[in-house]
Amino acid sequence: MNKAKELLEDASLSIKEICTMSGYSDPNYFSRIFKKIENVTPSEFREKGENSLAKLCEPLKRTPK
């Protein structure tokens, strides 16, 4: 699952691609197992990561002139 979590940071990869790259052949099974372990679906995990990154970058956008 650690590999899958790393891959989810790359928005250019689909969940299905990440599933295969993580050694799972069935995306539905992958999603079920991921949710059981991480308590969120792969999509939710990805969204959470994107929101965290956006929050980290927000102060950089507010640089004084």
Domain boundaries along the sequence of the chain? 2-61
Residue percentage of the chain with pLDDT more than 70: 75
The string of DSSP letters for the chain reads: -HHHHHHHT-TTS-HHHHHHHTT-S-HHHHHHHHHHHHSS-HHHHHHHHHHHHHHHHHHHHT---
Q: What confidence tier does 57 reach under pLDDT thresholds 50, 70, 90?
A: low
**Mean pLDDT over residues 28-55, rounded?**
87
Cα–Cα dist 54/31, whole Å: 25
pLDDT at 21: 96
pLDDT at 64: 60
For domain 2-61, give its CATH number from 3.40.50.2000, 3.10.620.30, 1.10.150.120, 1.10.10.60.
Answer: 1.10.10.60
**Mean pLDDT, the chain, whole residue set:** 86
Exposure string for 47-65, b = 16+ CB within 10 A, e = fewer: eeeeeeeeeeeeeeeeeee
Q: What confidence tier does 55 reach under pLDDT thresholds 50, 70, 90?
A: low
